[in-house]
Chains A and B, each alone.
Chain A
């Protein structure tokens, strides 16, 4: 895991948010979820996004994952502006480029582990997808659980199935929302180990989290407060050091412009 940050050079960010503003209009008020955030993530980079509840972390993840559209600003995939894409093209871009991991795993309870991993490719009539699913499950240590349904798996195993699912389309970016939120510490550590392995293959991982353990494994941690970046410092990967205290803003600096 050491040195993943400097292994990737020169190719430019795989995913980038530029001056992203997200406002939600409700009848009573306008909520500013993101107040101009710029983030760029290089291939193979593991970025943790921290911040108190309501700071806009999940909104940022949704916008980066093309699940939500920014009110202002844009998200760039491989340097390409995604704001002009149609719904259909956005869906296709998600399928090709982005893998998702959720706190609640969101596996389909009626499908086996293997079928859950296959899900993103299930409609493609791809003969190799069953094999690939088995391969990925073996890689995350579930080679003997291929035909188990999610009900027969533990939380950590479910999250590993979800990781395998997120990798089935060879994504370039992995977006994880509280990936360790429902796991005990030990299981969380093994999941984070998986993330680092994935990064070593050049996949960027962005994890929104409350868990300091995640920041320990991340190449860098960015903190969101009230929809603004409060720090975006490169981290020297080390073990045993606690990350930034959750929710504090050490200095008043605003969103760091990371574009370019």
Chain B
């Protein structure tokens, strides 16, 4: 395509003649320029993709935890010698927690036997498991007085269905419902456990109380209220807020991400060295031409600008390709991990991508600096000496 002044691109080159010369120079050794550009592409992708990948992973994990950020788990303060939570504690928790669902849990380990197969499983005693969990089949009674509930994972393992009779700790129970496994991270996951009426689980008092509030903020308020009410005079309970954990995991991921991006920048450094090499070769090969430019009246600064424009073009084109590929990769990763391709375009991700682009272009410019300086400072008479 000839650069006539008529096409828009032609006008652009006319407007920035330095870029025209630079671009033509790059096309002269096409393979070399493409390889140098490839270095920048890879560098930009390394930074952007690692950043986006990390951020997406973080979003995926905190997303699943985030849903249960509205849960507060109250446990006896075992360090202070409190073995279990009493009925009175539960009433107190329910009183200060307002509208939140309060599910006291007694936990133990027992043997389950069905059709000759046995397994050691966790057993939870809950009066109203329906407040906190869902059934995949059968119905969870409002108050669990007889019969049992089996977690979905355990049911699958032992081939248990609603209506079956199973032996739990030597006693026969009818299975009322199969409980859905918790998709999210949780302290109490009934998925691979058996839920019995509280009085059927051996032990005193309750091992945990799960408070499920409307929102993360409400959960936080409940936690504060519970702490005030029960830990006022002595340390009686320890309170586990999932919201805190979410924040901590977020911080940890940010640190890991920064580390990944740091590793990615090494590849950009390598790309910079490759551009330095290409540009240096180019200045040596074109020594006489640069000498002629100087002879016909190009100032040293003009030569510097031409050489830097070459480096800039390498960096900008390589960076642009890398950016597009990174965004495509981000869309793919988000589709796979979050099921939402558009989630790739969060401010954080775009931040990573454009930082990578910026670093790519900057690396090229810095790498071009020395060759450009060298070319600009050669005396034309030396360059033209035969």
Contact = CB atoms under 8 A, between A and B. Distances in A.
Range class of the B interface residue count? 20 to 34
Interface stretch (A85-93, A153-161, A212-220): A85-93
B24 interface: yes
Given A123-B17, A123-B18, A91 B297 contact: yes
A100 interface: yes
B13 to A, nearest CB: 10
A130 B293 contact: no
Interface residues of A, number: 34
Given A104-B288, A123-B17, A95 B297 contact: yes
Interface string B368-386: 0000000000011100101
Interface stretch (B77-85, B164-172, B298-306): B298-306
Contact of A88 (B5, B15, B292, B299): B299
B2 A147 contact: yes
Contacts of B302: 123
A119 interface: yes
A1 interface: no
Contact of B289 (A91, A108, A115, A122): A108
Interface of B is mostly: helix
A79 interface: no
Contact of A106 (B2, B18, B288, B381): B288
A99 B56 CA distance: 62
A120 interface: yes
A122 B292 CA distance: 14
A260 B297 CA distance: 29
Contacts of A55: none
B177 to A, nearest CB: 78
B24 A111 contact: yes
Interface of A: 58, 62, 65, 67-68, 87-88, 91-92, 94-96, 99-100, 102-104, 106, 108-112, 115, 119-120, 122-123, 125, 130, 147, 165-166, 169
Given A62-B381, A91-B298, 17 more contacts: A67-B379, A67-B380, A88-B300, A91-B297, A100-B292, A100-B296, A102-B384, A106-B289, A106-B291, A110-B25, A111-B24, A115-B20, A119-B293, A123-B298, A123-B302, A130-B5, A165-B296
21 contacts: A58-B386, A62-B381, A62-B384, A67-B381, A67-B384, A88-B299, A91-B294, A95-B296, A95-B297, A103-B386, A106-B289, A106-B384, A108-B289, A108-B292, A110-B24, A110-B25, A115-B3, A122-B20, A123-B17, A123-B18, A166-B296
